[in-house]
């Protein structure tokens, strides 16, 4: 019994050991996502709206190196269309790609040129190199967005919260340094900027990104009212897709695999009972 209990505890703890670092920032806001449940899928209309926010706002500073235009038309992606199983033939994808100018080498002269993008190209980097990116943004390089939703504790809710919290409510007594913006959801230490009660230093930190979104900043094609909340929610969902584009395939294969495994285990259980039926043990 002791063994049973301790091992059950070992199993539970081993699987659920949370890494609890000391937090200096607010936990991300609770957001409901269409994809959060074990079988939840992306909301394609939301991904399309989120893409528009990325295209018109984020992409001017943030790269998304690991995503190709063709990925937008992949199954589970924002512009997947069953009529075009090959995303390279998807007219929406082709139009999006052609809208970008991609650096290349002229195949006759060898000179550096720019040409319209094709579906096989990747989203181009807004800066020539990381140093240029830093120089243009007060010394802080805007992080690449391909994996951002997986690379931050809280995932899409963190992205949503950072965007919503940027400069939203600056407590009286907090002197934010020039070129920086207060955000309660980002890790940091505000002690040096706090003029109030030293025991009540506000949680959060400073971020170099100015508040990126505002109501009506992006006009959605599907007629959805573009409140700031809607824009932030949609772009966070889009970035979750960018970080985990195979989620829908993964969950679909997972359901089939689980059905098979449960049936297979059942068969093995009956075989086991059958083989051991007449054995005293």
Per CB under 8 A, residues contacting other proteins are: 1-7, 9-11, 13-15, 17-22, 38, 65-66, 71, 143, 146-147, 150-153, 187, 243, 245-246, 249-251, 253-255, 257-258, 261-262, 264-265, 268-269, 271-272, 275-276, 279-281
Spatial CB neighbours of 190, under 8 Å, sequence gap ≥ 6: 174, 182, 201, 202, 203, 204, 205, 206
Q: From CA 186, how far away is CA 205, in angstroms rounded? A: 5
Closest contact distance (angstroms) between CB of 251 and other proteins is 7
- The nearer residue to other proteins, 12 or 95, going by C-beta atoms, is 12
Closest contact distance (angstroms) between CB of 258 and other proteins is 6
Rounded to the nearest 5 percent, the helix, strand and coil shares of the chain are 40, 5, 50
Closest contact distance (angstroms) between CB of 202 and other proteins is 19
Closest contact distance (angstroms) between CB of 98 and other proteins is 22
CA-nearest of 55, 54, 92 to 73 is 92
- The nearer residue to other proteins, 111 or 278, going by C-beta atoms, is 278
Cα 215 to Cα 43, 120, 229, 231: the distances in Å are 22, 34, 8, 8
- The nearer residue to other proteins, 216 or 276, going by C-beta atoms, is 276
Q: From CA 235, how far away is CA 167, in angstroms rounded? A: 19
- The nearer residue to other proteins, 38 or 178, going by C-beta atoms, is 38
Q: From CA 137, how far away is CA 127, in angstroms rounded? A: 11
- The nearer residue to other proteins, 4 or 32, going by C-beta atoms, is 4
């Amino acid at each position: 019994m002791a063994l049973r209990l301790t091992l059950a505890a070992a199993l539970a703890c081993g699987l659920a050991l949370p890494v609890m670092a000391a937090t200096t920032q607010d936990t991300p806001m609770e957001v409901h996502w269409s994809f959060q449940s074990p079988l939840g899928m992306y909301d394609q209309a939301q991904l399309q709206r989120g893409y528009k926010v990325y295209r018109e706002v984020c992409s001017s500073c943030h790269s998304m190196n690991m995503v190709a235009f063709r990925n937008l038309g992949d199954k589970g992606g924002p512009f997947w269309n069953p009529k075009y199983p090959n995303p390279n033939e998807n007219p929406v994808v082709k139009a999006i790609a052609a809208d970008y100018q991609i650096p290349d080498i002229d195949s006759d002269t060898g000179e550096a040129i720019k040409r319209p993008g094709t579906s096989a190209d990747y989203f181009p980097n807004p800066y020539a190199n990381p140093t240029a990116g830093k120089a243009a943004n007060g010394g802080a390089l805007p992080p690449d967005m391909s994996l951002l939703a997986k690379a931050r504790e809280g995932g899409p809710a963190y992205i949503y919260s950072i965007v919503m919290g940027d400069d939203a409510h600056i407590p009286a007594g907090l002197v934010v340094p020039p070129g920086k913006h207060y955000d309660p959801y980002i890790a940091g230490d505000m002690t040096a900027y706090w003029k109030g009660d030293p025991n009540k230093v506000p949680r959060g930190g400073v971020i170099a990104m100015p508040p990126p979104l505002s109501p009506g900043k992006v006009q959605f094609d599907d007629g959805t009212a573009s409140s700031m909340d809607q824009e932030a929610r949609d772009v966070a969902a889009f970035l979750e897709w960018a970080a985990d584009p195979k989620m829908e395939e993964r969950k679909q294969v997972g359901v089939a695999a689980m059905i098979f495994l449960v049936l297979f285990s059942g068969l093995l259980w009956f075989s086991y009972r059958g083989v051991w039926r007449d054995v005293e043990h």
